Amino acid sequence: MKEECYYVDNSKIPINFWDSEGNKTLENGTGFTIEKFGANFNDVYKHHFVNGVFEKEEKIQGVVYGKFIPNK
């Protein structure tokens, strides 16, 4: 994955983004980027932008753990 961006007041503004297969998914600030988070990068999100403005986030992959039950 590769990204071109710039910063305004410490905020990242994406311009262009290519996925791991070389497909351009964001052009001139419109389209989507892919972000991986977590200890093993298991949580994958698609971030949608229009003219460089964040519109929405979509979780496309991740690990789901059971409900936390504290010890009694």
For the beta sheet containing 30-37, the strands, ordered from the edge strand earlier in sequence to the opposite edge, are 2-8, 11-18, 24-27, 30-37, 43-50, 53-61
**Under a CB-based contact definition with an 8 Å cutoff, are residues 16 and 23 in contact?**
no
pLDDT in tens, 5-54: 999 999 989 999 999 999 999 999 999 999 998 777 888 999 999 999 99
| Statement: residue 65 has pLDDT above 80 | no
54 in a structural domain? yes
pLDDT at 19: 93
Could you tell me the residue range of the domain that residue 7 belongs to?
2-61
46 in a structural domain? yes
71 in a structural domain? no
70 in a structural domain? no
- How many domains does the chain fold into? 1
| CA–CA distance, 30 with 61 (Å, rounded to integer) | 22
pLDDT at 14: 94
pTM above 0.85, yes or no: no
pLDDT at 62: 85
Q: Number of helices and strands (H, E) in the chain?
A: 0, 6
